[in-house]
Amino acid sequence: MDIFGSSEAAKILVIDDRPLSRVMAVDLLSANGYDVIEHDGISDIFTTIITASPDLILMDLKMPNYNGFDICQELKQNPDTRSIPIILMSVADDNKSRIKSQEVMADAFMSKPLESMILLPEVELLIQRKRLSEWLEQMQKVLFLISQALEKRYLPEGKSGIRFDKLAQGFGEYLNLSPVEISALILASHLHDIGTVAIPDAVMMKQGKLNEEERELIKNHVLIGEEICKPMQNRRGIAQIIRHHHERWDGSGYPDGLIGESIPKLAQIFQILDIYEAL
């Protein structure tokens, strides 16, 4: 079992038209516990990839019917296969090939014959990175479901995240934000109040005025939400927005009482969008 709870051996697809070279790679990987599938580089590669759904592809550059660079580029441009790590290998160890492998978004380039001391650590790293990404995607889906349940329970009817998404996209483009920053704003719109899951219903649904203790409980939701979303480190900026979306320009906000420009930029933008969306 790996660190993400998977007890299944990682599946590696080795694509090489040279039998001896292919067998050496297969034997090396199989001896280290991997489930290895062979492909001769002659028959339909793409059907094999879709059917096998490998955790990693180890592929030769030059084959009779295929070019490794072209295959890699096509796989990385396909939403269904772009998350599969690809290691390109070649007997020609030159800078031109290494640069080209980066251009087609290969995850690594290795020269043949393969050396176990170089190959195995790289394979392990790439597979764990892929499984981490998959785990984070699953966690994000779970958090979204929790957030949707909270919205239905606590928010007024008719309030929709769809409008906020469109506002964030349009305003973000107007401000020349990067796609990553716009994505963070949109994701944060669905998760910014996720911390309320730890606040008692008696407080969240209270009709009258909150007392001081209850107000402090409510304020804690930003800290709780930040902790819940910290593992989503590949979604840069979300946890920061969640923590600081109740800060105020004059320092009267919470949890840190930040003033003016000390409030993170994305948190400032999020506040503007949140206020506008509520109008």
Q: pLDDT (tens digit, 9 = 90+) per residue, 122-169?
A: 999 999 999 888 887 887 788 878 877 777 776 655 455 667 888 999
Strand order of the β-sheet with 108-111 is 35-39, 11-15, 56-60, 86-90, 108-111
The answer to whether 189 touches 229, Cβ cutoff 8 Å, is no
pTM: 0.65
pLDDT value of residue 2: 55
Whether residue 41 contacts residue 64, with contact meaning beta carbons closer than 8 Å, is answered with yes
Class of domain 155-278: mainly alpha
Q: CA 165, 169, 170 angle in degrees (round to 5)?
A: 120
Residue 56 φ/ψ, nearest 5 degrees: -160, 150
- Chain position carrying tokens 């995240």: 161
What is the torsional sign of CA 93, 98, 100, 101?
A: positive
pLDDT of residue 158: 46
Contact criterion met (CB below 8 Å) for 61 and 97: yes
pLDDT at residue 161, rounded to an integer: 60
pLDDT of residue 187: 87
Domain 11-132, CATH class in plain words: alpha beta
The DSSP letter of residue 232 is -
- For residue 255, the model assigns a pLDDT of 95
Q: Where are the domains of the chain?
A: 11-132, 155-278
- Extract the residue ranges of the chain whose pLDDT is less than 50: 1, 158
Closest CA to 231 of 268, 194, 266: 194
Looking at residue 162, its pLDDT comes to 67
pLDDT at 228: 87
Write down the pLDDT at residue 277. Answer: 82
Please return the burial class of 247, using the count of CB atoms within 10 Å of its CB with bins 0-12, 13-18 and 19+.
buried
Kindly report each contact of residues 130-135 with a partner whose C-beta sits within 8 Å and lies 24 or more positions away, as own/partner.
130/55, 130/56, 130/83, 130/84, 130/85, 131/2, 131/4, 131/6, 131/55, 132/4, 133/83, 133/234, 134/4, 134/83, 135/4
Position 233 scores a pLDDT of 61
